[in-house]
Amino acid sequence: MTELDGTHRESNFRDSVKKYFYDNLFTTEGIAVSFDRSLSTPKVQGIEVDKWYAVVIGEIELGTLAEGYVDIYCCTKKDPEGFRLAQLRDKVMKYLIDTSMTDGMARVTFYRSSATETWTSLGKMVIQVQGESRQMEAEDYTKFKVITIRLRWGAK
């Protein structure tokens, strides 16, 4: 029985997506990020935050040109006019597009992830912004909008 190629492993896809958004949105921008929790307000050091991103990983379609879908929820509380939500949206967009590339699409490193070994790069995934929702409001007055992206990569 042969081992599944790393470019077809869902665990590698999920870990690569999580690393990209954690490194850029939390580590670089200092904004809380949660995964697969949609509108649940995260806590940082026991304190609820008033702005955050929730990254929800969706379906994956495997083939020689594989693709995976991700919804990014931009969320704010205590934001009566939605201005902070617009700022949060603008901040994440700079990691979804890349004007220095001829196609304008940002790249995400696709890693072979491991709990015990150093992660190794298997290539890059291209981000394509699929759509963006209007501003919405949840029952607890959380303002949010959803940006849907498709990531595509060459798989073996």
- Domain with residue 127: its CATH number is 3.30.2000.20
Confidence of residue 48 (pLDDT cuts 50, 70, 90): confident
Higher pLDDT, 37 or 34: 34
Q: Quick one: average pLDDT of 29-42?
A: 81
What's the confidence (pLDDT) of residue 47? 73
What's the confidence (pLDDT) of residue 1? 53
The answer for residues whose C-beta is within 8 angstroms of residue 34's C-beta and 6 or more apart is: 40, 42, 52, 53, 54, 55
Evaluate if residue 18 carries a pLDDT over 90. yes
Q: Considering the chain, what percentage of its residues have pLDDT values greater than 90?
A: 78
Domain hosting 17: range is 6-154
Residue 1 located in a structural domain: no
Q: What is the 3-state secondary structure (H, E, C) of the chain?
A: CCCCCHHHCHHHHHHHHHHHHHHHHHHHCCCEEEECCCCCCCEECCEECCEEEEEEEEEEECCCEEEEEEEEEEEECCCCCCHHHHHHHHHHHCCCECCCCCCCECEEEEEECCCCCCCEEEEEEEEEEEEECCCEECCCCCEEEEEEEEEEEECC
Q: How many domains does the chain contain in total?
A: 1
Question: pLDDT by residue (tens digit) across 85-135?
Answer: 999 999 999 999 999 999 999 999 999 998 888 999 999 999 999 999 999
Q: Considering the chain, what percentage of its residues have pLDDT values greater than 70?
A: 92
Higher pLDDT, 46 or 67: 67
What's the confidence (pLDDT) of residue 124? 96
Q: Quick one: average pLDDT of 123-151?
A: 96
